Amino acid sequence: MSLRDESRSERRQHAPLNTHVLALGALLLFSPLSASAVEPAPPASTEVVISEQARAHFQAGVQLLQDPDGARYEEAYEEFKAAYADSPSWKILGNLALCAMKLERDGEAIAALESSLTDGGAELDPADRTQQQTDLKLLKDRAAALTVRGSPGTTVLDERSTVSGSVIKNQYRIPESGELPLLLRPGNHRLTARFGEGSETKEATLNSGAAEMTVELRAEAPQAAPSAVAPPPAQEEAGPSKVPAYVSLGIGAAGLIVGGVFLAFHFDSAGQADKAFSNCAESGDCTQDDVSRIDQLDADAATQGTVSLISFGVGAVGIGTGVALLLLQPKKEAPPSAGFSIRPYASAHTFGLSGKF
């Protein structure tokens, strides 16, 4: 399994995905091994017996990865996970790691690759071992550590927006220890904790290689909304002025312009980061300079995105406030003029002018 092989296969619409890993996994699970082709088998006490149920889950996962309409990683991940839970054999871990990596569950992908390399031993094909070691190094170099603290049993939804506009979503559950350690893809993450009817959301910007970040999420039960209090009666202004409305509209326009400029900077930096990461993955040889450059681009994109969001927020508030001031501003009626007045009148048969002194 490799990032490089996967990125190439995705560009071929109906080509089989990661056929080497899939074929190896199927061979190991469903075919007997020749004694002359591998090292002597370990003692029977350490050999994991693959159950029929695990075989069925594994085969379903392979079929989902080879779907003609495109690999269905999320469903395949569940099948491989069920197969490993039933029969924890290292022979399942290659495909499980592939799906976890595609779903950006990088912590699980790293754990699966480490177990596959350790438990596979001499039975693991040398080419597969080399590729898994390359993938493991790339994942570890890029992973960002985050610990979520909260009430045991709390569900945590992690959402990361990509440059293309799609949103990667993964759901976790805080264990009995109250701490959920995660290894995540660098970028902007929106974390939402849900426990019963309560919820809490926080955002975190993660960079690879940075110090581990800890987020406290306590999903509290929703509080009853305070009773509505009637606002004090509006006082009639002696002479309404439109200056505050025009000032607010000007601030709003400036905020929108600044937001648009920084949004363009954000997409440019993020695009360069993704392109550099793709080049690094395709080459299979990622230097520390490459990783540092990608981290810097990710950090620039995060800062520019934050400035853009704040500017758009200021712009929206300014425009809204200005429009509201113009629409809701009380109008002062002119007092009746002294002297005389003339006004036209019309009916079905007559037309003329009337006046008073």
What's the CA gap between 252 and 320, in Å, rounded?
Answer: 8
Strands 144-149 and 213-216: parallel
CB atoms closer than 10 angstroms to residue 233? 6
Contact 183, 107 (CB under 8 A): yes
- One-letter amino acid identity for 123? E
Q: DSSP assignment of 31-93, as one string?
A: SPPPTTTSSPPPPGGGPPPPPHHHHHHHHHHHHHHT-TT---HHHHHHHHHHHHHHS--GGGH
- How do residues 250-278 score in pLDDT, each as one tens digit? 887 887 898 888 888 888 888 888 888 88
Contact 215, 184 (CB under 8 A): no
User: What pLDDT, on a 0 to 100 scale, did the predictor assign at position 4?
Assistant: 34
Evaluate the CA torsion angle 336, 342, 343, 345 in order and state its sign. positive
CB within 8 A of 216, min separation 6: which ones? 149, 150
Contact 116, 154 (CB under 8 A): no
Contact 148, 179 (CB under 8 A): yes
- Among 29, 174, 185, 182, which residue's Cα sits nearest to residue 103? 185
User: Which residue ranges in the chain fall short of pLDDT 70?
Assistant: 1-46, 210-211, 219-240, 330-357
CB atoms closer than 10 angstroms to residue 149? 16
- Among 64, 142, 128, which residue's Cα sits nearest to residue 94? 128
Q: Which residues does residue 31 pair with via DSSP β-bridges, in sequence order?
A: none
Q: Read off the DSSP letter of residue 231.
A: P
User: What pLDDT, on a 0 to 100 scale, did the predictor assign at position 186?
Assistant: 85
User: What pLDDT, on a 0 to 100 scale, did the predictor assign at position 30?
Assistant: 41
User: What pLDDT, on a 0 to 100 scale, did the predictor assign at position 109?
Assistant: 94
Radius of gyration, CA atoms only, the chain: 32
- How do residues 75-118 score in pLDDT, each as one tens digit? 999 999 999 999 999 999 999 999 999 999 999 999 999 999 99
User: What pLDDT, on a 0 to 100 scale, did the predictor assign at position 332?
Assistant: 58
Q: Read off the DSSP letter of residue 349.
A: S
CA distances (Å), 46 to each of 42, 83, 88, in order?
7, 18, 11
User: What pLDDT, on a 0 to 100 scale, did the predictor assign at position 275?
Assistant: 84
Predicted TM-score (pTM) above 0.75: no
Contact 105, 120 (CB under 8 A): no
Coil vs helix vs strand at 310: helix
User: What pLDDT, on a 0 to 100 scale, did the predictor assign at position 273?
Assistant: 80
